[in-house]
Amino acid sequence: DILVQPKGTELAAVIRLCRKYDVPYQVIGNGSNLLVGDRGIRGLVIEMLSKEDEICVEDDCITVGAGMLLSKTANRAAEHGLTGMEFAAGIPGRIGGAVVMNAGAYGGEMKDILTAVTVLDQEGNEKILSAEELELGYRTSCILKKGYIVTGAKIKLKHGEETAIRARMEKQPLEYPSAGSTFKRPEGYFAGKLIMDAGLRGYLVGEAQVSEKHCGFVINRGNATAADVRTLMQNVADIVEEKFGVRLEPEVKMIGEF
């Protein structure tokens, strides 16, 4: 119903107003891990954005705003010859969302590089949490459980050589758009292989499709609705469970009204 893009201290004021008047709110970053219901989102959506000057590099540490793109942060690290963030160069999200879900790819994840995170609590008060306090696990953290909003992060990397760092970044397959992995990795298995082995490569519901290139991804062929995608995900999970006894859990977060 309402979209707000707060700057600086405006965020705390917005949260306090929502609490005061009992207005539901949803915080988003780049939206790349979200499936939004076709009927939209009730209440307030707060979109976290950061300007270029919200990346500060000091020696081997980077302090960055929650609304900064991971790709821009990884590129800034490479410019300064800092290694350890190459895994994030192709993740289409922002720092805040990456912290919340402990985003990862290609053998690296946020918990490997985070040292501290700044958050607002549900009353709009600022807190600084250490990496240990975040309870970072596989696609999880304490932030969602406690209703915190990430406003910034401090990342510690290692000194390296820019040419080698960029070579590692360029090896990642960025030529195809996607919302990332659709399902979490089940313990002892790979979601994409289970889906492929169930004969679901290219499986369609409306114009939503299990990717023929990588079965762990669901793509939009053009005019898929959120309902198409959700139905496809439910069908895939049911078929995989029936065939292999393993229940796939969504990694994509569903918000809004379906």
Sheet (strand 204-205) strand order: 204-205, 208-210, 218-220
Could you tell me the CA-to-CA distances from 239 to 22, 123, 173, 216 in Å, in that order? 41, 44, 28, 14
126 part of the active site = no
**d(C-alpha 137, C-alpha 242), whole Å:** 28
Catalytic residue among 139, 166, 185, 201: 139
54 part of the active site = no
* Residues linked to residue 3 through DSSP beta bridges, in sequence order: 45
Catalytic residue among 32, 141, 181, 211: 181
**d(C-alpha 43, C-alpha 46), whole Å:** 10
**d(C-alpha 162, C-alpha 76), whole Å:** 10
For CA atoms 198, 203, 208, 214, give the dihedral sign.
positive
Residue type at 202 in one-letter notation: G
**d(C-alpha 216, C-alpha 204), whole Å:** 14
Catalytic residue among 50, 71, 94, 251: 251
| Rg, C-alpha atoms of the chain | 19
251 part of the active site = yes
Active site residues: 139, 181, 251
